[in-house]
Amino acid sequence: MTEFNKAPSPHIKGWQHSSPGMTAAIGGTPLIRLKRASEETGCDIYAKAEFMNPGGSVKDRAALAIIKHAFKTGALKPGGTIVEGTAGNTGIGITLVAQAMGCKAIIVVPETQSREKLDFLRMIGADLRLVPAKPYRDPGNYVHVSQRLAEEIGGCWANQFDNTANREGHRTTTALEIWEQTNGKIDAFTCSCGTGGTLAGTSTGLREQAALAGKAAPKIILADPEGSGLYGWVKSNDLSVSGGSITEGIGQSRITANLDGFIPDDAERIPDEEALKQVFALTSEEGLSVGGSSGINVASAIRTARKLGPGHTIVTILCDSGSRYQSKLFNPEFLRSKNLPVPFWLA
Ligand code: PMP
Protein backbone atom coordinates (compact mmCIF):
# COMPACT_ATOMS: atom_id res chain seq x y z
CA MET A 1 0.00 0.00 0.00
CA THR A 2 1.25 3.46 -0.77
CA GLU A 3 0.83 6.37 1.55
CA PHE A 4 -1.35 9.20 0.29
CA ASN A 5 -3.05 6.81 -2.06
CA LYS A 6 -5.95 8.77 -3.57
CA ALA A 7 -9.06 6.67 -3.12
CA PRO A 8 -11.97 6.54 -5.57
CA SER A 9 -15.01 8.68 -4.86
CA PRO A 10 -17.83 6.33 -5.80
CA HIS A 11 -20.56 8.59 -4.46
CA ILE A 12 -20.31 10.88 -7.45
CA LYS A 13 -21.19 8.18 -9.97
CA GLY A 14 -24.74 8.49 -11.22
CA TRP A 15 -25.19 11.91 -9.65
CA GLN A 16 -27.94 13.52 -11.73
CA HIS A 17 -28.76 16.84 -10.13
CA SER A 18 -25.80 18.93 -11.18
CA SER A 19 -22.46 18.61 -12.85
CA PRO A 20 -20.00 17.25 -10.27
CA GLY A 21 -18.31 20.61 -9.54
CA MET A 22 -17.08 21.07 -5.98
CA THR A 23 -18.88 17.96 -4.73
CA ALA A 24 -16.49 15.83 -6.80
CA ALA A 25 -13.73 16.91 -4.40
CA ILE A 26 -15.50 15.42 -1.36
CA GLY A 27 -14.10 12.07 -0.25
CA GLY A 28 -11.29 10.14 -1.86
CA THR A 29 -9.06 11.29 1.00
CA PRO A 30 -5.57 9.84 1.63
CA LEU A 31 -5.01 7.11 4.20
CA ILE A 32 -1.89 8.16 6.11
CA ARG A 33 0.32 5.75 8.02
CA LEU A 34 1.07 7.27 11.43
CA LYS A 35 4.77 6.55 11.85
CA ARG A 36 5.26 7.19 15.55
CA ALA A 37 2.06 5.45 16.66
CA SER A 38 2.90 2.48 14.42
CA GLU A 39 6.50 2.25 15.68
CA GLU A 40 5.42 2.56 19.31
CA THR A 41 2.95 -0.31 19.03
CA GLY A 42 4.46 -2.59 16.37
CA CYS A 43 1.19 -2.26 14.44
CA ASP A 44 0.25 -0.38 11.28
CA ILE A 45 -1.90 2.53 12.38
CA TYR A 46 -3.53 4.44 9.53
CA ALA A 47 -5.65 7.56 9.64
CA LYS A 48 -8.07 8.80 6.99
CA ALA A 49 -7.26 12.46 6.30
CA GLU A 50 -10.79 13.86 6.35
CA PHE A 51 -9.48 17.35 7.08
CA MET A 52 -8.57 17.40 3.37
CA ASN A 53 -12.20 17.64 2.26
CA PRO A 54 -13.15 21.01 0.66
CA GLY A 55 -14.95 22.20 3.82
CA GLY A 56 -12.08 20.93 5.96
CA SER A 57 -13.80 18.08 7.79
CA VAL A 58 -15.33 14.61 7.73
CA LYS A 59 -18.75 16.30 7.79
CA ASP A 60 -18.57 17.28 4.11
CA ARG A 61 -19.48 13.66 3.39
CA ALA A 62 -22.59 13.81 5.57
CA ALA A 63 -23.57 17.18 4.07
CA LEU A 64 -23.29 15.82 0.54
CA ALA A 65 -25.15 12.59 1.35
CA ILE A 66 -27.97 14.47 3.14
CA ILE A 67 -28.38 17.05 0.36
CA LYS A 68 -28.27 14.39 -2.38
CA HIS A 69 -30.93 12.44 -0.50
CA ALA A 70 -33.08 15.57 -0.03
CA PHE A 71 -32.92 16.24 -3.78
CA LYS A 72 -33.87 12.65 -4.49
CA THR A 73 -36.93 12.75 -2.21
CA GLY A 74 -37.91 16.24 -3.39
CA ALA A 75 -37.52 17.71 0.12
CA LEU A 76 -35.00 20.16 -1.35
CA LYS A 77 -35.08 21.74 -4.80
CA PRO A 78 -32.69 24.11 -6.57
CA GLY A 79 -33.17 27.56 -5.02
CA GLY A 80 -34.54 26.01 -1.80
CA THR A 81 -33.25 26.44 1.74
CA ILE A 82 -31.73 23.77 3.96
CA VAL A 83 -31.59 24.37 7.73
CA GLU A 84 -29.30 22.60 10.18
CA GLY A 85 -28.24 22.65 13.81
CA THR A 86 -24.54 21.87 14.13
CA ALA A 87 -21.38 22.11 16.22
CA GLY A 88 -19.94 23.91 13.17
CA ASN A 89 -18.37 21.43 10.78
CA THR A 90 -21.65 20.12 9.37
CA GLY A 91 -22.73 23.73 8.94
CA ILE A 92 -19.62 24.46 6.91
CA GLY A 93 -20.21 21.37 4.74
CA ILE A 94 -23.94 22.08 4.31
CA THR A 95 -23.31 25.74 3.42
CA LEU A 96 -20.64 24.95 0.83
CA VAL A 97 -22.50 22.01 -0.76
CA ALA A 98 -25.77 24.00 -0.78
CA GLN A 99 -24.02 26.93 -2.49
CA ALA A 100 -22.46 24.58 -5.04
CA MET A 101 -25.90 23.12 -5.77
CA GLY A 102 -27.76 26.43 -6.06
CA CYS A 103 -29.43 26.30 -2.64
CA LYS A 104 -29.37 28.45 0.50
CA ALA A 105 -28.45 27.30 4.00
CA ILE A 106 -29.35 28.51 7.51
CA ILE A 107 -27.03 27.25 10.23
CA VAL A 108 -27.90 27.15 13.97
CA VAL A 109 -24.83 26.79 16.21
CA PRO A 110 -24.35 26.82 20.01
CA GLU A 111 -22.35 29.93 20.92
CA THR A 112 -19.77 27.84 22.84
CA GLN A 113 -18.22 26.45 19.66
CA SER A 114 -14.75 27.59 18.67
CA ARG A 115 -14.39 31.13 17.31
CA GLU A 116 -12.56 29.77 14.25
CA LYS A 117 -15.52 27.63 13.16
CA LEU A 118 -17.94 30.54 13.64
CA ASP A 119 -15.62 32.93 11.76
CA PHE A 120 -15.28 30.42 8.94
CA LEU A 121 -19.06 30.07 8.68
CA ARG A 122 -19.40 33.88 8.51
CA MET A 123 -16.56 34.07 5.99
CA ILE A 124 -18.26 31.68 3.54
CA GLY A 125 -21.54 33.60 3.81
CA ALA A 126 -23.50 31.20 6.00
CA ASP A 127 -26.75 32.58 7.42
CA LEU A 128 -25.57 31.93 10.98
CA ARG A 129 -27.90 31.86 14.01
CA LEU A 130 -26.10 31.56 17.36
CA VAL A 131 -28.05 30.09 20.28
CA PRO A 132 -27.09 29.53 23.94
CA ALA A 133 -25.72 26.01 24.62
CA LYS A 134 -28.55 23.92 26.11
CA PRO A 135 -28.92 20.17 26.73
CA TYR A 136 -30.84 18.10 24.18
CA ARG A 137 -33.86 17.77 26.51
CA ASP A 138 -34.26 21.59 26.51
CA PRO A 139 -36.45 23.00 23.68
CA GLY A 140 -33.81 25.73 23.25
CA ASN A 141 -31.18 23.16 22.21
CA TYR A 142 -29.72 24.03 18.79
CA VAL A 143 -31.11 20.87 17.18
CA HIS A 144 -34.69 21.70 18.18
CA VAL A 145 -34.26 25.38 17.24
CA SER A 146 -33.12 24.34 13.75
CA GLN A 147 -36.08 21.98 13.34
CA ARG A 148 -38.59 24.68 14.33
CA LEU A 149 -36.92 27.20 12.04
CA ALA A 150 -37.08 24.80 9.07
CA GLU A 151 -40.79 24.26 9.73
CA GLU A 152 -41.49 28.00 10.09
CA ILE A 153 -39.86 28.94 6.79
CA GLY A 154 -40.95 25.82 4.88
CA GLY A 155 -37.30 24.81 4.40
CA CYS A 156 -35.68 21.40 4.41
CA TRP A 157 -34.33 20.25 7.81
CA ALA A 158 -31.06 18.36 7.35
CA ASN A 159 -31.44 16.57 10.72
CA GLN A 160 -27.95 15.05 10.67
CA PHE A 161 -28.45 13.16 13.96
CA ASP A 162 -31.51 11.20 12.90
CA ASN A 163 -31.31 11.32 9.12
CA THR A 164 -29.74 8.00 8.14
CA ALA A 165 -28.65 9.40 4.77
CA ASN A 166 -25.69 10.51 6.93
CA ARG A 167 -24.49 7.01 7.83
CA GLU A 168 -25.41 5.75 4.34
CA GLY A 169 -22.96 8.30 2.94
CA HIS A 170 -20.17 6.75 5.03
CA ARG A 171 -21.25 3.16 4.35
CA THR A 172 -21.04 3.75 0.62
CA THR A 173 -17.92 5.96 0.47
CA THR A 174 -15.66 6.09 3.55
CA ALA A 175 -15.89 2.34 4.19
CA LEU A 176 -15.26 1.38 0.56
CA GLU A 177 -12.29 3.75 0.33
CA ILE A 178 -10.72 2.32 3.50
CA TRP A 179 -11.32 -1.25 2.31
CA GLU A 180 -9.64 -0.48 -1.01
CA GLN A 181 -6.78 1.53 0.52
CA THR A 182 -5.91 -1.27 2.97
CA ASN A 183 -6.42 -3.99 0.36
CA GLY A 184 -8.95 -5.47 2.77
CA LYS A 185 -6.33 -5.93 5.49
CA ILE A 186 -7.90 -4.21 8.45
CA ASP A 187 -8.09 -5.72 11.93
CA ALA A 188 -9.77 -2.84 13.74
CA PHE A 189 -11.53 0.45 13.09
CA THR A 190 -11.90 2.99 15.87
CA CYS A 191 -13.75 6.28 15.76
CA SER A 192 -15.50 8.83 17.96
CA CYS A 193 -19.16 9.68 17.64
CA GLY A 194 -21.25 12.82 17.37
CA THR A 195 -24.21 11.89 15.20
CA GLY A 196 -22.79 8.38 14.77
CA GLY A 197 -22.80 8.72 10.98
CA THR A 198 -19.06 8.20 10.60
CA LEU A 199 -18.77 5.40 13.18
CA ALA A 200 -21.90 3.40 12.30
CA GLY A 201 -21.78 3.99 8.54
CA THR A 202 -18.09 3.22 8.08
CA SER A 203 -18.19 0.24 10.46
CA THR A 204 -21.26 -1.27 8.79
CA GLY A 205 -19.65 -0.85 5.37
CA LEU A 206 -16.42 -2.47 6.57
CA ARG A 207 -18.32 -5.40 8.10
CA GLU A 208 -20.18 -5.85 4.78
CA GLN A 209 -16.96 -5.78 2.75
CA ALA A 210 -15.32 -8.32 5.08
CA ALA A 211 -18.35 -10.63 4.76
CA LEU A 212 -18.28 -10.33 0.95
CA ALA A 213 -14.57 -11.21 0.96
CA GLY A 214 -15.11 -14.13 3.37
CA LYS A 215 -12.86 -12.49 5.96
CA ALA A 216 -13.32 -11.90 9.68
CA ALA A 217 -14.95 -8.53 10.35
CA PRO A 218 -12.65 -5.84 11.74
CA LYS A 219 -13.08 -5.13 15.42
CA ILE A 220 -15.11 -1.92 15.85
CA ILE A 221 -14.17 0.28 18.77
CA LEU A 222 -16.04 3.42 19.84
CA ALA A 223 -13.64 6.19 20.94
CA ASP A 224 -15.47 8.33 23.47
CA PRO A 225 -14.56 11.53 25.35
CA GLU A 226 -15.37 12.08 29.03
CA GLY A 227 -18.87 13.50 29.47
CA SER A 228 -20.40 11.25 26.80
CA GLY A 229 -22.85 8.48 27.59
CA LEU A 230 -21.85 6.12 24.81
CA TYR A 231 -18.90 4.43 26.54
CA GLY A 232 -21.25 3.34 29.35
CA TRP A 233 -23.82 2.27 26.74
CA VAL A 234 -21.31 -0.06 25.06
CA LYS A 235 -19.81 -1.37 28.31
CA SER A 236 -22.91 -1.76 30.49
CA ASN A 237 -25.95 -0.52 28.56
CA ASP A 238 -25.99 2.62 30.72
CA LEU A 239 -26.15 5.99 28.92
CA SER A 240 -25.66 8.16 32.00
CA VAL A 241 -23.09 10.94 31.73
CA SER A 242 -20.38 12.33 34.01
CA GLY A 243 -17.40 14.66 33.54
CA GLY A 244 -16.74 16.74 30.46
CA SER A 245 -14.38 17.40 27.56
CA ILE A 246 -12.98 20.33 25.61
CA THR A 247 -13.30 18.35 22.37
CA GLU A 248 -16.01 19.60 20.01
CA GLY A 249 -18.44 17.75 17.77
CA ILE A 250 -18.25 14.43 19.60
CA GLY A 251 -19.87 12.78 22.60
CA GLN A 252 -23.50 11.76 22.76
CA SER A 253 -26.04 10.86 25.41
CA ARG A 254 -28.73 9.25 23.28
CA ILE A 255 -28.96 6.58 20.59
CA THR A 256 -29.48 8.62 17.44
CA ALA A 257 -31.17 7.06 14.40
CA ASN A 258 -27.69 6.87 12.85
CA LEU A 259 -26.58 4.65 15.76
CA ASP A 260 -29.80 2.65 15.92
CA GLY A 261 -29.23 -1.06 15.31
CA PHE A 262 -25.45 -0.65 15.35
CA ILE A 263 -23.36 -2.26 18.08
CA PRO A 264 -19.61 -1.65 18.40
CA ASP A 265 -17.46 -4.52 19.66
CA ASP A 266 -15.85 -2.42 22.38
CA ALA A 267 -15.23 1.13 23.57
CA GLU A 268 -12.39 3.28 24.90
CA ARG A 269 -12.94 6.34 27.07
CA ILE A 270 -10.19 8.88 26.40
CA PRO A 271 -9.47 11.78 28.78
CA ASP A 272 -8.67 15.17 27.20
CA GLU A 273 -5.07 15.05 28.41
CA GLU A 274 -4.40 11.79 26.52
CA ALA A 275 -6.15 13.13 23.39
CA LEU A 276 -4.19 16.40 23.49
CA LYS A 277 -0.91 14.51 23.84
CA GLN A 278 -1.74 12.85 20.51
CA VAL A 279 -2.84 16.13 18.89
CA PHE A 280 0.48 17.75 19.84
CA ALA A 281 2.58 14.71 18.83
CA LEU A 282 0.80 14.48 15.48
CA THR A 283 1.70 18.13 14.92
CA SER A 284 5.33 18.10 16.03
CA GLU A 285 6.32 14.57 14.98
CA GLU A 286 4.14 13.77 11.97
CA GLY A 287 3.45 17.21 10.49
CA LEU A 288 -0.29 16.71 10.82
CA SER A 289 -2.31 19.55 12.30
CA VAL A 290 -5.61 18.16 13.61
CA GLY A 291 -8.38 18.92 16.09
CA GLY A 292 -9.40 17.31 19.39
CA SER A 293 -11.64 14.54 18.06
CA SER A 294 -8.73 13.33 15.91
CA GLY A 295 -6.65 13.17 19.11
CA ILE A 296 -9.34 11.03 20.78
CA ASN A 297 -9.37 8.77 17.70
CA VAL A 298 -5.59 8.32 17.53
CA ALA A 299 -5.34 7.71 21.29
CA SER A 300 -7.99 5.02 20.92
CA ALA A 301 -6.14 3.50 17.93
CA ILE A 302 -2.97 3.26 20.04
CA ARG A 303 -4.82 1.64 22.95
CA THR A 304 -6.44 -0.79 20.49
CA ALA A 305 -3.06 -1.64 18.94
CA ARG A 306 -1.63 -2.38 22.41
CA LYS A 307 -4.57 -4.68 23.18
CA LEU A 308 -4.38 -6.54 19.84
CA GLY A 309 -0.57 -6.83 19.91
CA PRO A 310 2.06 -6.25 17.18
CA GLY A 311 1.38 -6.99 13.53
CA HIS A 312 -2.20 -5.71 13.34
CA THR A 313 -3.66 -2.99 11.11
CA ILE A 314 -5.80 -0.35 12.78
CA VAL A 315 -7.61 2.47 10.98
CA THR A 316 -9.04 5.68 12.40
CA ILE A 317 -10.21 9.13 11.25
CA LEU A 318 -8.56 12.57 11.31
CA CYS A 319 -11.83 14.52 11.44
CA ASP A 320 -10.72 18.13 11.01
CA SER A 321 -7.77 20.49 11.18
CA GLY A 322 -6.03 22.15 14.14
CA SER A 323 -6.60 25.56 12.57
CA ARG A 324 -10.24 25.22 13.62
CA TYR A 325 -9.18 25.34 17.31
CA GLN A 326 -6.30 27.81 17.41
CA SER A 327 -7.99 29.83 20.16
CA LYS A 328 -8.54 26.76 22.34
CA LEU A 329 -6.33 23.70 21.83
CA PHE A 330 -3.35 25.82 20.78
CA ASN A 331 -3.88 28.66 23.24
CA PRO A 332 -1.64 28.31 26.34
CA GLU A 333 -3.93 30.54 28.42
CA PHE A 334 -6.98 28.43 27.63
CA LEU A 335 -5.11 25.17 28.21
CA ARG A 336 -3.67 26.34 31.56
CA SER A 337 -7.12 27.49 32.69
CA LYS A 338 -8.28 23.89 32.19
CA ASN A 339 -5.18 22.36 33.78
CA LEU A 340 -4.23 20.79 30.47
CA PRO A 341 -0.75 20.41 28.96
CA VAL A 342 0.65 23.15 26.69
CA PRO A 343 2.62 22.11 23.58
CA PHE A 344 6.34 22.75 24.17
CA TRP A 345 6.65 25.14 21.23
CA LEU A 346 3.93 27.41 22.68
CA ALA A 347 4.90 27.15 26.37
N1 PMP B 1 -15.14 15.31 14.88
C2 PMP B 1 -15.57 16.55 14.63
C3 PMP B 1 -14.56 17.66 14.71
C4 PMP B 1 -16.91 16.81 14.30
O5 PMP B 1 -17.31 18.07 14.06
C6 PMP B 1 -17.82 15.73 14.26
C7 PMP B 1 -19.26 15.96 13.91
N8 PMP B 1 -19.97 16.78 14.78
C9 PMP B 1 -17.35 14.44 14.56
C10 PMP B 1 -16.00 14.26 14.84
C11 PMP B 1 -18.27 13.26 14.64
O12 PMP B 1 -18.78 12.81 13.42
P13 PMP B 1 -20.19 12.12 13.33
O14 PMP B 1 -21.23 13.19 13.42
O15 PMP B 1 -20.19 11.46 12.01
O16 PMP B 1 -20.35 11.15 14.45
pLDDT of res. 21: 86
**Does 110 contact ligand 1 (Cβ within 6 A)?**
no
What is residue 7's predicted lDDT score, i.e. its pLDDT?
A: 55
pTM equals: 0.94
Per-10-residue mean pLDDT for the chain, 347 residues long?
47 45 93 98 98 97 98 96 94 97 96 91 95 94 97 97 98 97 98 98 98 98 98 96 93 96 98 98 98 98 98 98 96 97 96
Residue ranges of domains in the chain: 22-53+174-341, 58-160
CATH of 22-53+174-341, one of 3.40.50.2300, 3.40.50.1100, 3.20.20.60, 3.30.420.40: 3.40.50.1100
Distance, in Å, from the CA atom of 325 to the CA atom of 148, rounded to the nearest integer, reads 30
Contact 316, 301 (CB under 8 A): yes
Measure 319 CA to ligand 1 centroid, in angstroms. 7
Q: Which numbered atom of ligand 1 lies nearest the CA of 166?
A: 15
3-state DSSP call for residue 330? coil
Position in ligand 1 atom list of the atom nearest CA 197: 15
Report the pLDDT value the prediction gives residue 8, as an integer from 0 to 100. Answer: 54
258 three-class SS: coil
Ligand 1 centre and the CA of 139: distance in Å? 22
In short, whether 194's Cβ falls inside 6 Å of ligand 1 is yes
Q: What is the pLDDT of residues 183-208, one digit of tens each?
A: 999 999 999 999 999 999 999 999 99
Ligand 1 atom 12 nearest Cα: 194
Q: Which residues contact 201 (CB under 8 A, 6 or more apart)?
A: 166, 167, 168, 169, 170, 171, 174, 175, 258
- Catalytic (active-site) positions: 59
Q: Is residue 296 within 6 Å of ligand 1 at its C-beta? A: no
| pLDDT number for residue 10 | 46
**Four-residue CA torsion sign, 230, 236, 241, 244:** negative
Can you tell me the distance from the alpha carbon of 225 to that of 243, in angstroms, rounded to the nearest whole number? Answer: 9
Matching fold, domains 22-53+174-341 and 58-160: yes
| Tens of pLDDT, residues 299-329 | 999 999 999 999 999 999 999 999 999 999 9
Whether ligand 1 lies within 6 angstroms of the CB of 320 is answered as yes
CATH topology of domain 58-160: Rossmann fold (3.40.50)
Q: Give the ligand 1 atom nearest the CA of 320.
A: 3
